[in-house]
Amino acid sequence: MDKNLAIEMKNISMIFNKTIIANNNINLKVKKGEIHAIIGENGAGKSTLMSILFGLYRPTSGEIFVNGKTQIITNPVKANNLGIGMVHQHFKLIDIYPFWKNISLGNEQTYFNLFINKQKTIKKITKIMNRYNLIIDLNKKPSNSSVASQQKSEILKALYRESDILIFDEPTAVLAPQEIDGFLEVLKNLKQNGKTIIFITHKMAEIKKVADSATVLRNGEVVGEFDVKSTSIDQFAKAMVGREVNYVQNQYKKISKDIVLKIENLTVMNQNNHKVEALKNFSLEISRGEIVAISGIEGNGQVELVNSITGLTKIKKGNIYVNQELINKSSVSKRYHKHKISHIPEDRHKYGLVLNNNLIDNMVLQDISTKKFSKYGFINFNAVQEYGQSIMEKYDVRNSQSGFAIARQLSGGNQQKAIIGRELERESDLIIIFQPTRGLDIGSIEFIHSEILKAKEKQKAILLVSYELSEILALADRVVVLNSGNTIGQLIGEEISIDKIGVMMMGEVNEKV
């Protein structure tokens, strides 16, 4: 065997339930000390392949070699013992434990190998946090923390165990642009320290910045292996989706004033600290056929704004109107039905899906009691099934088993496509969209962006919250920038640029509000 290889996977196949072929005869080689990217569409088999390497799945067939020696990796503990660590796309955290305990679980610093030394454990984690600029409150619990903080804790968990081979599954999906740059520096530092990195991402710019080589998967098979420096982003995109990718762009036209959403002097307390104001006297209007994007570094009031509109949190003061009706005290159900609000949430597991239900059920959750799907208390199962399956087909939700697959079984990207399909296809006047393409591949992003622009053409009012500046640039008619809960300013139409947004995100006031 080649001693220069950290990982070699030979003829790996993984078949679920004897029907779903996630990996089909895959061969993968990762050199020691390199950053190797694995890219492909949602459901291409990337996460499954890495879960096999980490011992979460036993492959149907194939062999694994670690540092030149054949290994049977039966569980993550065995993987850890072989020097393999993994940062998962979907968090593996215990909500009732503080972060320091989640990060160190099973590897705590101790007194006399018997009692946990909390102070020494936290000291070790803090040293890693400061070294890699991954700062979180170690005493907080995941249930009371942002998605980005949970993601950082997963990264810290791998770094804490000092693994030589680190697998990162979509690690930057929930990080703000500045945090992503910091994380990519982390990867470079890890490489310089002799670590081997396997990096799953859909973001081509990240691959070009840090990766040495890349393997492209499509439909569970290897399409090709590439040298990153000599391969263009367009070449990668074509290899992923099997065709040329067209990038969607909103053609700005002046929007006529026909207000759907009106927010007046809204003040909301921070969801994790009820003594701190997350939003301060925030006002906003959105008209029919207008996409207004909220930009800002994560944690500057975006979550509280969305939760206030959708009824997931109480407001301290101010008013919210939809189609001139005050909705401050309206229930979530009333907001969905009477006020015709659709909501694509940031956290697809917590707010987007009932994970143990099938996809068809999930597609009609909000509307099951309407005349469309039930009459006199009896559910029209044919209508439910037909509607759910139409969304699966239109939004290309892979491995859905005609909608009968359990939501939990799907890849994160396919779960996201199902939620987006449900919310865009519902009857609505106002669509609240939070990080719509998190974890989606380049082909899916193209399609989702085009569907959002079609919703705009149908005269829907759209509030978009995204940490992807390129996404804001592609979709927004108007951009409002938040910093510390305050409106810094706004950009309209052709004046929108990444540079201007970036300056405002750092707190420089734009007087054109």
Tokens of 382: 């044919």
Please tell me the predicted confidence (pLDDT) of residue 513.
43
Please tell me the predicted confidence (pLDDT) of residue 201.
84
Task: Kindly state whether residues 335 and 382 are assigned to the same domain.
Answer: no
Short-list 244, 247, 233, 246, CA closest to 39: 233
- In order of 114, 267, 351, the CA distances from 436 in angstroms are 47, 25, 14
Instruction: Choose the final residue of a domain: 184, 214, 241.
Output: 241
Range of the domain at 362: 352-426
Structural domain includes residue 246: no
Task: Kindly state whether residues 412 and 332 are assigned to the same domain.
Answer: no
| pLDDT one-digit tens code per residue, 326-355 | 999 999 999 998 999 999 998 888 899 999
Q: Contact, 145 vs 156, CB < 8 A?
A: no
Here the CATH number for the domain that contains residue 505 is 3.40.50.300
Instruction: Choose the final residue of a domain: 426, 458, 487.
Output: 426
Task: Kindly state whether residues 100 and 190 are assigned to the same domain.
Answer: yes
Total domains, the chain: 3
Instruction: Measure CA of the first residue to CA of the last residue in the chain; give whole Å.
Output: 64
Structural domain includes residue 346: no
Per-residue pLDDT of the chain (513 residues; tens, 9 = 90+): 577 899 999 999 999 888 788 999 999 999 999 999 999 888 889 989 999 999 999 999 999 999 999 999 999 999 989 999 998 877 889 999 999 999 999 888 888 778 889 999 999 999 988 887 788 999 999 988 876 788 889 888 888 888 899 999 888 766 666 677 878 888 888 898 889 999 998 788 889 999 999 999 998 999 999 999 999 988 888 888 888 877 788 888 888 899 999 999 999 998 877 788 889 999 999 999 999 999 987 778 999 999 999 999 999 999 999 999 999 999 999 999 899 999 999 888 889 999 999 999 999 988 888 888 988 889 999 999 999 999 999 998 988 899 999 999 888 888 999 999 999 999 999 999 999 987 788 888 888 999 999 999 999 999 999 988 889 999 999 999 998 888 888 999 888 888 888 788 876 665 544
- In order of 253, 467, 502, the CA distances from 470 in angstroms are 19, 9, 12
The set of residues, in sequence order, having a beta carbon less than 8 Å from that of 246 and lying 6+ positions away, is: 446
Structural domain includes residue 142: yes
Task: Kindly state whether residues 385 and 438 are assigned to the same domain.
Answer: no
Structural domain includes residue 81: yes
Q: Contact, 101 vs 85, CB < 8 A?
A: no
Pairing of strands 461-465, 165-169: unpaired
Please tell me the predicted confidence (pLDDT) of residue 289.
95
Please tell me the predicted confidence (pLDDT) of residue 174.
62
Task: Kindly state whether residues 335 and 374 are assigned to the same domain.
Answer: no
Task: Kindly state whether residues 484 and 374 are assigned to the same domain.
Answer: no
Sign of the C-alpha dihedral computed for residues 489, 430, 174 and 468 taken in this order: negative
Instruction: Choose the final residue of a domain: 176, 209, 241.
Output: 241
Task: Kindly state whether residues 235 and 261 are assigned to the same domain.
Answer: no
For the chain, give the mean pLDDT: 89
Task: Kindly state whether residues 174 and 289 are assigned to the same domain.
Answer: no
Task: Kindly state whether residues 87 and 170 are assigned to the same domain.
Answer: yes
CA angle at 443 for the pair 440 and 448, rounded to the nearest 5°: 65
DSSP H or E run through 378: strand 378-379
Structural domain includes residue 453: yes
Task: Kindly state whether residues 23 and 67 are assigned to the same domain.
Answer: yes
Structural domain includes residue 232: yes
For residues 357 and 407, give the distance between their C-alpha atoms in angstroms, rounded to a whole number. Answer: 6
Q: What is the DSSP string of 438-502?
A: TT--HHHHHHHHHHHHHHHHTT-EEEEE-S-HHHHHHH-SEEEEEETTEEEEEEEGGG--HHHHH
For residues 223 and 240, give the distance between their C-alpha atoms in angstroms, rounded to a whole number. Answer: 8
Q: Contact, 207 vs 228, CB < 8 A?
A: yes
Please tell me the predicted confidence (pLDDT) of residue 163.
85
Task: Kindly state whether residues 36 and 131 are assigned to the same domain.
Answer: yes
Task: Kindly state whether residues 332 and 404 are assigned to the same domain.
Answer: no
Please tell me the predicted confidence (pLDDT) of residue 41.
84
Structural domain includes residue 387: yes
As a whole number of Å, the CA-based R_g of the chain is 23
Structural domain includes residue 114: yes
Tokens of 245: 């990718």
Q: Bridge partners of 9?
A: 28, 64
